[in-house]
Amino acid sequence: MTGPSHARSLRFALVAIPLLFLAIVLLQTRIDAETRTIAQQKEDLLLRSGPLLKALSMGYEPLLADIYWTRAVQYYGSRLGNESEKFELLWPLLDITTTLDPKLIIAYRFGAIFLSEPAPMGAERADLAAELVKRGVAANPDDWRLDSDLGFLYYWHLKNYPEASAAYLEASKKKDSPVLMKMMAAEVAAKGNSFSASREIWTEIFESAQDPSVKKNAFQHLRSLQAQQDLLALDKVAEDFRERNGHYPVTTRELYERGVLSGIPIDPAGIPYIFGPDGKARLDPKSPVTVDKALNR
């Protein structure tokens, strides 16, 4: 039994071991090739900067830009969904592309998406995305879509509401931009508690709108802004009252009767504000006025 069995094991080893070594060699060769490719890509990008390529392009900048944009898309697409991917070459590729052709709008708009999306769907670099789009705005000052994209980056990814509002407002001033841009500017300003800026924009919309639905929307937002400011002021009064008396006021009438307020505060619809158990001022449920719950209080 040991003789034939030993012989079979020996024959198997004689075949399997060379195949194993061959597989290891092939695998290492592939790893080395991929490593060299990545290293070559980095070296190629370092040696061929956008300004240098632009200087040497002899008038073929748009063609070269298309080539580099294609490379950027292929680079992004081939790595999409890889948890460990950092997309390190994405910004250099987009930098070269837009340096070669500053009018290539698609590179700014989609490039910003590639850069800003969180991993593993993107590079998670909203800061670079904003820089890219700002470059696009400078090179294409009449395209409202780029200002809108910048507003979205500041609003959604960077949480910089003043900058987001300013970008949307800039978009609203450009030819063919929809009225939505001015509305976004006003709403984002309110979200950042910039009530004066938001009210100014909504007032302009209300006074200039021809569409009754747009005018109604602006009116509702103006009432909402006033209510939001009132609620913030009442919150402060309620907190001061608690510090002096050891408890929050139960009603706004209590504040009036104690001489804290000169009258009972009412919302823009004429209905008195109320206080919740937490001491926060609120709109009466019967009031037609609404306040954005996402606003900071």
Measure the CA–CA gap between 194 and 113, rounded to whole angstroms.
28
The CATH H-level superfamily of 41-180 is Tetratricopeptide repeat domain (1.25.40.10)
Give span(s): CATH 1.25.40.10, the chain. 41-180
Burial class (CB in 10 A: 0-12, 13-18, 19+), 97: buried
pLDDT band at 59 (very low <50, low <70, confident <90, very high): confident
Residue labelled with tokens 């910003």: 112
When pLDDT is cut at 50, 70 and 90, the band that residue 64 belongs to is: confident
pLDDT digits (tens, 9 = 90+) for 211-263: 999 999 999 999 999 999 999 999 999 999 999 999 999 999 999 999 999 99
What are 75-134's pLDDT values in tens digits?
999 998 888 899 999 999 999 999 999 999 999 999 999 999 999 999 999 999 999 999
Reported as a pLDDT band with limits 50, 70 and 90, residue 295 is: low
Residue 33 has pLDDT above 70, yes or no: no
- Return the bridge partners of 282, or none: 274
For residue 157, give Cα distances in angstroms to 81, 123, 125, 129, 166.
19, 13, 9, 10, 16
pTM of the full predicted structure?
0.71
Provide the pLDDT for residue 193.
Answer: 82
pLDDT of amino acid 294: 53
Instruction: Please give the biggest Cα pair distance in the chain.
Output: 109
Q: How confident is the model at residue 32 (pLDDT cuts 50, 70, 90)?
A: very low
Name 218's Cβ contacts closer than 8 Å, sequence gap at least 6. Answer: 202, 203, 205, 206, 209
pLDDT level of residue 8 (50, 70, 90 thresholds): low
